[in-house]
Structures are given as C-alpha cells and as structure tokens.
Amino acid sequence: MTPYTLINGTPAQGIATNDRGLAYGQGVFETLLIRNNQVCFLAWHMERLLEGCHRLGIACDGLQQQLEADLTQLELPAAASLKILVTCGAGGRGYAVTEKLVPTRILTLGPLPQRDPDPAQVGAKLRWCQTTLARQPLLAGLKHLNRLEQVLARAEWTRSDIHEGLTCDTSGQVIEGTMSNLFFRIGEQWHTPSLENCGVAGILRRWVLDRISALAGEVQIGGYLPADVERADELFVCNSLIGIWPVVELADHRYKVGALSRHLQSLLEKEYDARC
C-alpha cells in the first residue's frame, strides 16, 4: 500500500520549517497496529501520547478530540501500521517557548513490515549494541522524537539474519532493544529491565506485564547486566507491530522457544480478535 499522511487533519506532505519537532525534537509519537480494520490498543496509545505531551510542555487542550477526528478521515485497511506524531508546533526562536503554540498533528498510514522467515514463528536472533542510552529520568518511558541513540545502535549491523539489538545505559545496565522491550526468565522468575532512567515504556510491555503476572507470578522489574540476560532460560522481545518474538540466539548463546512465549503469542492473537 502507498503511505497516506494527514497533517492537522488535511492530506499533506510537509510541515513548517520552524516546527519545534523538526528543530528541537519537541514532540512524541505512537506506532500503532491496524488489525481487522481497527486500531489496536488505541486507548493505551492515546494515554501515553497525552502523558508525553504534558511532560514536554505541549498543549493538550482538545488534542485527543482532534486526533480522534483525524482518525475518522482514514480508511483503515485490514492490516497496516499507523504512526501518530505530535509536535509542540511551529513558532518561536531558541529553546524557550514564549508564545502559545498550536501542536502539529501528523498521522501516517502505511504497510506493515514484512520479514521472511517471520521471527515470531522461527525465533529472533539478537546482538548486543555498543551504543549506550543516556540516563535522563525526565524523559524516561516516553516515546519522544529524539531517536538518535536508536539510529546509531541500529546502524551497528547490516546482517539480515540479526533481527534486533539490545542496548544498555551508560552505567552498563540492560534497558531494551532498539525497537522493543525485553522480558526474560531465570528459573521460574520472570524479569524485565527498569525504565526509571531511560527507555520506552512500550504498550505491549504493559500488556505482557499484566498477562505474565496472572500466569506465572509478578514480574521482577530491576537492574540487570548483560550476563544476567545471557543466562536466561527463556526470553523474548516485543512491541506493538512485531508482537512477541521469542529469542533463539543472543550473541554466542542459543535458546529454545519457551512455552510461555508461545502461550503469550496465542493470547495476544485472541486479544486482537476481541479488541481489534
């Protein structure tokens, strides 16, 4: 399918050159899955987007209603991806915002990424990235527009058989993948890295935390070193578009696809059928 973009509710392809999202990265975005002609987990995505706008000083009055109106203009296909991006708006010079700005809304509908073979079925191969993530609690959890760390991390490999890279912060603690969140099991205990200082609090991470807690006990959220992750008995990465990818290889370590990973995939499919 050909990508289709709405800017402030109108089909367009350009924004103002003095938009603060372009100039300073002052904005947030959400990447949503379209399934069965419906937007999956829309309420959760909207909640995170509005929280991000609030924390970055972006005007939120009426924003949700405007975005919902934008969505009604899109003819949603059976399967696609939808990117919703909101910036602080155009205007001002320098870092300080000295006038009331109107947020810029950008919605882009596009095809889902295709991978053959599908890592969700055969398992994903991961590597460690050398690029580290800065610790900044004020931005932790947000899906803001400053993605240079992820761009640099993803540029570290070109092999098509490596599906994702795991990143640590500047203290050496494991945080997330370049585009995903990480869960791993040691013995009977499930773990996921803390996002107190950096990282993106993924929508599917939120769903997985609820499901694992109900199925296998509370997930331990904490600080972990690469060696902790490598000794896992089962691990997977997840995000809204890829779903759940069981990990079969990380650096020089090999893993079997775990039973809970497969069960969560099945539950997620049922969730999509019920909610999307």
Q: How many whole angstroms separate alpha carbon 141 and alpha carbon 138?
A: 9
Residue 1 has pLDDT above 90, yes or no: no
Taking the C-alpha atoms of residue 1 and residue 190, their distance in angstroms, rounded to an integer, is 39
- The 3-state secondary structure of 203-272 reads HHHHHHHHHHHHHHCCCEEECCCHHHHHCCCEEEEEECCCEEEEEEEECCEECCCCHHHHHHHHHHHHHH
Segment 201-208 shows an average pLDDT of: 98
pLDDT in tens, 97-125: 989 999 999 999 999 999 999 999 999 99
Domain 119-275 in the same topology as domain 4-110: no
Confidence of residue 227 (pLDDT cuts 50, 70, 90): very high
pLDDT at res. 92: 82
The confidence score (pLDDT) of residue 98 equals: 87
Looking at CATH, the fold of the domain delimited by 4-110 is given as D-amino Acid Aminotransferase; Chain A, domain 1 (3.30.470)
Task: Identify the three-state secondary structure at position 37.
Answer: coil
Taking 90 as the threshold, does the pLDDT of residue 274 lie above it?
no
Residue 246 has pLDDT above 90, yes or no: yes
Q: Do the bridges between strand 10-11 and strand 4-7 make them parallel or antiparallel, or are there none, so unpaired?
A: antiparallel
> Which of the pair, 1 or 77, is modelled with greater confidence?
77
State pTM to two decimals. Answer: 0.97
Q: Where are the domains of the chain?
A: 4-110, 119-275
Q: What is the mean pLDDT of residues 6-14?
A: 95
135: left (phi over 0), alpha (psi -120 to 50) or beta: beta
Which residues sit opposite 165 in a β-bridge? 127
| Residue 275 pLDDT | 78
How many residues would you count in the chain?
Answer: 276
What does the pLDDT look like over 173-201, one tens digit per residue?
A: 999 999 999 999 999 999 999 999 999 99
Identify the pLDDT of residue 110: 97
> For residue 30, what pLDDT is reported?
98
- The CATH code of the domain at 119-275 is 3.20.10.10
Read off the pLDDT band of 233 (50, 70, 90): very high
CB atoms within 10 A of CB 81: 18
Contacting residues for 116 by C-beta, under 8 A, at least 6 apart:
none
